């Protein structure tokens, strides 16, 4: 069977610092993806699993309605809905303490719009550039994600990545120089070596041209914030494309 879109999966990198000191990048985080839907308005949230065995803690980090950092840890109750009381203005990440046994739906409450569905065997989702801001001058930061060809046997031929949408014009992307890498940066204000960053609608070929089955390609993200940049609650979009049999 040919590769389909569902076989191409975006993942976060292991190191996603919330300051400009800690190590960034690294290998693929098998438990976290960057594909959740941000809140449309301030709201509290809830969780529900499809499996009674999901009874561990789950922590949500974000911003409150006042702009302050906020966190809430709840103990899941399996198929029974678990509701929180913290009102979030935006979500930064959500993380279960253990791999999901069922699929775990994270949504606005009560029974509102879905923010993210944690797949079986994974733990959550995360935004890029958490707690990132500028002050008196321009600040450029770097984060990392991975595209994975998760098909069991087929290569994605002529594989290319690109930035397809950047509504606030703050982002560029650069494909890593090798597949299955675990490269880090000293901190997120240090540029990764050897990476060429490009803007919207520019294809970059995956090293080796084809992305083999169950193989990852790292994609570095550059965020350029002008001095005293106002708050953003927006998204950017990348894609992995290619051919299949």
Phi (first) and psi of residue 15, to 5 degrees: -100, 115
pLDDT at residue 25, rounded to an integer: 98
CA distances (Å), 149 to each of 3, 7, 196, 228, 231, in order?
A: 9, 6, 22, 39, 34
Contact 92, 143 (CB under 8 A): no
pLDDT at residue 125, rounded to an integer: 98
Phi (first) and psi of residue 200, to 5 degrees: -55, 145
pLDDT at residue 191, rounded to an integer: 98
User: What are residue 117's DSSP bridge partners?
Assistant: 105
* Nearest residue to 47 via CA among 106, 132, 110: 106
pLDDT at residue 7, rounded to an integer: 98
Contact 62, 42 (CB under 8 A): no
* Nearest residue to 171 via CA among 150, 145, 152: 145
Phi (first) and psi of residue 5, to 5 degrees: -55, -35
pLDDT at residue 233, rounded to an integer: 85
Task: Tell me the C-alpha distance between 220 and 80, whole Å.
Answer: 39
- Taking only the tens of pLDDT, the chain with its 245 residues reads 799 999 999 999 999 999 999 999 999 999 999 999 999 999 999 999 999 999 999 999 999 999 999 999 999 999 999 999 999 999 999 999 999 999 999 999 999 999 999 999 999 999 999 999 999 999 999 999 999 999 999 999 999 999 999 999 999 999 999 999 999 999 999 999 999 999 999 999 999 999 999 999 999 999 999 999 998 888 999 999 999 97
pLDDT at residue 215, rounded to an integer: 98
pLDDT at residue 205, rounded to an integer: 98
pLDDT at residue 124, rounded to an integer: 98
Cα 203–Cα 241–Cα 103 angle in degrees, nearest 5: 130
DSSP three-state, residue 6: helix
pLDDT at residue 245, rounded to an integer: 78
Task: Tell me the C-alpha distance between 90 and 97, whole Å.
Answer: 21
């Amino acid at each position: 069977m040919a590769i389909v879109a569902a076989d191409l999966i975006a993942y976060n990198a292991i190191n996603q610092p919330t300051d400009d000191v800690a190590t960034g990048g690294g290998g693929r985080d098998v438990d976290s993806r960057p594909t959740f839907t941000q809140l449309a308005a301030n709201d509290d949230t809830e969780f529900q699993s499809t499996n009674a065995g999901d009874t561990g803690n789950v922590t949500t980090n974000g911003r409150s309605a006042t702009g302050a950092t906020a966190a809430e840890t709840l103990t899941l109750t399996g198929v029974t809905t678990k509701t929180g009381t913290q009102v979030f203005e935006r979500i930064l990440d959500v993380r279960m303490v253990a791999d999901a046994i069922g699929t775990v739906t994270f949504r606005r409450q009560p029974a509102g719009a879905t923010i993210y569905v944690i797949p079986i065997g994974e733990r959550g989702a995360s935004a890029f550039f958490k707690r990132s801001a500028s002050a008196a001058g321009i600040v450029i930061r770097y984060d990392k994600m991975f595209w994975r060809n998760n098909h069991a046997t087929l290569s994605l031929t002529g594989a290319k990545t690109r930035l397809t949408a950047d509504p606030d014009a703050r982002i560029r992307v650069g494909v890593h120089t090798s597949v299955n890498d675990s490269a880090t940066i000293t901190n997120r204000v240090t540029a990764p070596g050897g990476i060429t960053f490009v803007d919207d609608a520019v294809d970059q070929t995956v090293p080796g041209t084809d992305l083999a089955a169950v193989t990852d390609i790292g994609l570095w993200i550059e965020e350029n914030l002008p001095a005293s940049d106002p708050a953003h609650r927006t998204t950017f979009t990348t894609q992995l494309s290619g051919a299949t049999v």
